[in-house]
Structure 1
């Protein structure tokens, strides 16, 4: 939290005991969200160092406005993290998150898998490939909704942005479904097999819309959103958690006093 407090710069001195109580309250409310916020950031920017900087900035801004903002933590934290991470990519050429590090984006967390859902590693990789190919703005909205269970209202989306989110999810679901049919079910339908060989995505999508057999096959696939939501959280370093939330031993609290 030294990094958090260093960004806070309070406008007036605060009683040390009162401040210590605020810090304890802040930690209890915000510490449980660290891993999820870090996962959200690193999946957008594609590298650990930049994600770590964005998480520091996010929690620093949260501390600055604490406790006036109340206990509604998740929506505010993720909204702030989204703004910070997208701003960090604004002037970068690789805005769609070229992966420069060996991050494990496609590990499956068995505790996050919906009941009765069964899928393999290759499906997880296919789903993540489709998600990571989205523009970062679009992916960030999809992730908030699918991976972090935040409604449009919870993250303060206006109507136009909420509609954009719905369209992004629809596009994502269709994209993954087409890929699955092309790779796993092409031989169940003669026309589908021909179109896959032609490699014409437009004709392929049109065929799937009108073909009853392909639609029935697609209905048996696990929801792409469920697979995306089941990918394991990428954890931050332990040093980041200590930096943000452990009380220093020296006199003063978080370097503020």
Structure 2
């Protein structure tokens, strides 16, 4: 896919560190069915969200792409490729496969862009739904698998200075990843979409095919399960 540079991501993809901090904050607080990540500044920070904001450029580019403008679609690709790739990498755990599936996601999106209609603020959700279906086809199962490991969180330790703190931070993060992996598949996917992708409740509901209320309750159950699993851990 041709690269373009005139449009930055509609909503910057959360760094691994901000993701981990947001999940820890949710675990610490019990994470009731409120706005979720991106809705405030907790003690551990928060992941950015696309809540209530649609970049006018994205809307314009979608309309141009629907009319057959390949340059406009290329700029949408630049804006969302990292979001899609991270989702796929978390799902399949293999960088090369994630890259292949990312390319296929955008090829399918290009073929179907004329069918896209705004239902809320959810271009990212539409793309991730395509990616999600590709994973289901690949593994012949819709069961969610959380594959990422802390070894792949390249920027996760940038705020840790002392060597002892670095080791402890990595150990805690590894335990968090393992706890997410042990969640029920629907809970793990909810955590992934809300925290790793920074999707809003509405966007997550669209991807999962559930109501917004159901997503809030799913997030609540997931974070409570994480809290119970990690309850004895000194953070």
Shorter-chain TM-score bucket reads: 0.5 to 0.7
Return the alpha-carbon distance in structure 2 between the equivalents of residues 147 and 97 of structure 1.
Answer: 11
Higher RCO, Cα 8 Å, sep 6+: 1
Return the alpha-carbon distance in structure 2 between the equivalents of residues 102 and 149 of structure 1.
Answer: 19
C-alpha contact 1:86 1:136 (8 A) present in aligned 2: no
State yes or no: 1:40 paired with 2:87. yes
Q: How does 1:146-161 map to 2 (within 5 A)?
A: 146-155=195-204, 156=206, 157-159=208-210
Pair 86,105 (structure 1): closer, same or farther in 2 beyond 3 Å: farther
| TM-score normalised over the length of structure 1 | 0.49
Corresponding residue for 2:156? 108
Q: Which runs of 5+ in 1 are unaligned?
A: 3-17, 112-118, 185-220, 222-257
| TM-score normalised over the length of structure 2 | 0.53
RMSD of aligned alpha carbons: 3.9
> Which has the larger Rg?
1
Return the alpha-carbon distance in structure 2 between the equivalents of residues 51 and 154 of structure 1.
Answer: 22
SS at match of 1:49: helix
Return the alpha-carbon distance in structure 1 between the equivalents of residues 220 and 183 of structure 2.
Answer: 12
C-alpha contact 2:188 2:222 (8 A) present in aligned 1: no
SS at match of 2:140: coil
Deviation of the 1:140 alpha carbon = 2.6
Pair 73,43 (structure 1): closer, same or farther in 2 beyond 3 Å: same
Q: Pick the aligned partner of 1:59 from 102, 106, 112.
A: 106
Pair 30,73 (structure 1): closer, same or farther in 2 beyond 3 Å: farther
